[in-house]
Structure 1
Amino acid sequence: MLNHAIRIALASAFACLAATTIARADCESDMNQLEKALQTPNLSTAAKAALEEAKTRSVAALKKDDDAACHKAIETGLKKAGIPMQ
Structure 2
Amino acid sequence: MTDTPPDRLSVNPASPFYNESLLDRGIGVRFKGIEKNNVEEYCISEGWVRLAVGRGTDRFGNPMAMKVKGPVEVWFKS
Query: Which protein shows a greater Rg?
Result: 1
Q: TM-score, normalised by structure 2?
A: 0.23
Q: TM-score, normalised by structure 1?
A: 0.22
Bigger proportion of residues as strand = 2
